[in-house]
């Protein structure tokens, strides 16, 4: 059969919130995307930061092919710590259950311990608990935008050190030798990333520190760094910046790791939850002070009570650091 692409071919976008998250329909991910679908999907990812798909009964190979439309896939290097797919070693198996408690239930960007953290990931849930196990995403551009001006001025251009410490701890616990750990450290030395990242495609500024991997803001007093990071980590927690996805069989999430953080709710005991994650290689994060500040599209300048809450958090930080 020959499919003739017409001007009418187009995806349907149903936003979950004004700035972050959209469900995409009118597309079959079992077949390669047309150029037009790829362009539309790419734009939708930039616009909505995370895309969700339902009713996509696709194979692992089709998932890989879908992800490859957006760049080269990266391999997860800590193969002693995670299971990877037997046939597609670039896929990480995200598996939790009664004997394997969740670990993705902290707000985080993925793999910021890499010099080039991933552009994004395509996660297909293969074993979905009847209830629970939702994933939340937070718009870190909106979170940046909601900060008081003096805090923005303090963090624009600041740089933070990231480290895979959590993995180092698990490796030690599992009896890895110093030489093995040193070999990981040599391959993945601590990167310094901008605290505020300019998105390489949209130009938006977003908060690019996370509680899982960021260790300190470099060049400032350690106590100040800790307080400032705490203040910044808290910003992902405001519901006004978030969307929440409820999984069902044959669902896929595709997030822009440069623009959002995510959190997998670990509330489905004693059920199992399993997914397969393909990650697209990213680039070196940077901050461009000359790029004009752009708001998230659809962003409300009126966020009600959280404006006061953020002001209180910032005031507590200022009084703690003097």
Point out the residues that are catalytic: 108, 110, 262, 277
Q: Which stretch binds Mn ion (CB under 5 A): 17-25, 90-98, 106-114, 206-214?
A: 106-114
State both tokens at 246. 């409820």
Q: Which of ligand OGA, Mn ion, none does 296 bind, CB closer than 5 to 8 A by kind?
A: none
Q: Residue 285's binding partner, choosing from Mn ion, ligand OGA, none, with beta-carbon cut-off 5 to 8 A by kind?
A: none
Shortest distance in whole angstroms from residue 6 CB to ligand OGA = 36
Residues 234, 193, 109, 189, CA torsion sign = negative
Comparing CB distances to ligand OGA, the nearer of 133 and 191 is 133
Q: How far is the CB of 263 from Mn ion (least distance, A)?
A: 9
Residue 123 interface partner, choices ligand OGA, Mn ion, none, CB cut-off 5-8 Å depending on type: ligand OGA
Query: Which among ligand OGA, Mn ion, none contacts residue 129 (Cβ within 5 to 8 A by kind)?
Result: none
**Do 265 and 58 contact (CB within 8 A), yes or no?**
no
Identified binder of Mn ion from the candidate list 40, 74, 110, 145, rule CB under 5 A: 110
Cβ neighbours, 10 Å, residue 5: 10
Lookup: tokens for 136: 């939340």
Instruction: Report CA 185 to chain centroid distance, whole Å.
Output: 23
Three-state secondary-structure class, residue 274 = strand
Q: Give me the least distance between CB of 245 and ligand OGA, in Å please.
A: 8
Helix (H) or strand (E) holding 313: helix 305-321
Q: 316 and 151 in contact (C-beta within 8 Å)? A: no
Extract the tokens encoding 12.
């349907």
Q: How far is the CB of 92 from Mn ion (least distance, A)?
A: 9
Residues that bind ligand OGA (CB under 6 A): 94, 104, 110, 121, 123, 135, 262, 264, 275, 277
How far is 31 from 49, CA to CA, in rounded Å?
23
Residues contributing to the site for Mn ion (CB under 5 A): 110
């Amino acid at each position: 059969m020959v499919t003739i692409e017409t001007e009418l071919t187009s995806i349907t976008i149903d936003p979950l919130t004004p700035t972050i998250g959209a469900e995409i329909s009118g597309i079959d991910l079992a077949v390669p995307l047309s150029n037009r679908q790829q362009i539309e999907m790419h734009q939708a990812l930039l616009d909505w930061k995370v895309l969700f798909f339902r009713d996509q009964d696709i194979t692992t190979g089709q998932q890989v092919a879908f992800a490859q439309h957006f760049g080269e896939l990266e391999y997860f290097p800590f193969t002693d710590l995670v299971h990877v797919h037997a046939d597609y070693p670039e896929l990480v198996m995200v598996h939790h259950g009664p004997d394997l408690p969740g670990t993705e239930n902290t707000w985080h960007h993925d793999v910021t311990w890499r010099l080039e953290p991933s552009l994004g990931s395509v996660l297909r849930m293969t074993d979905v608990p009847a209830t629970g196990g939702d994933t939340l995403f937070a718009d870190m551009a909106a979170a940046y935008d909601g900060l008081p001006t003096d805090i923005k001025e303090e963090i624009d251009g600041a740089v933070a050190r990231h480290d895979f410490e959590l993995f180092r701890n698990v490796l030690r616990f599992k009896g890895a030798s110093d030489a093995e750990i040193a070999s990981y450290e040599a391959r993945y030395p601590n990167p310094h990333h901008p605290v505020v990242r300019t998105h390489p495609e949209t130009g938006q500024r977003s908060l690019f520190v996370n509680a899982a991997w960021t260790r300190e803001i470099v060049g400032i007093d350690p106590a100040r760094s800790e307080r400032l990071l705490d203040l910044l980590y808290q910003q992902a927690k405001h519901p006004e910046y978030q969307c929440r996805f409820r999984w069902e069989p044959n669902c896929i999430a595709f997030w822009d790791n440069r623009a959002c953080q995510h959190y997998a709710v670990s509330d489905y005991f004693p059920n199992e939850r399993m997914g397969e994650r393909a990650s697209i290689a990213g680039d070196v994060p940077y901050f461009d002070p000359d790029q004009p500040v752009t708001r998230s599209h659809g962003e409300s300048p009126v966020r009600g009570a959280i404006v006061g809450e953020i002001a209180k958090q910032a005031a507590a930080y200022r009084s703690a650091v003097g």
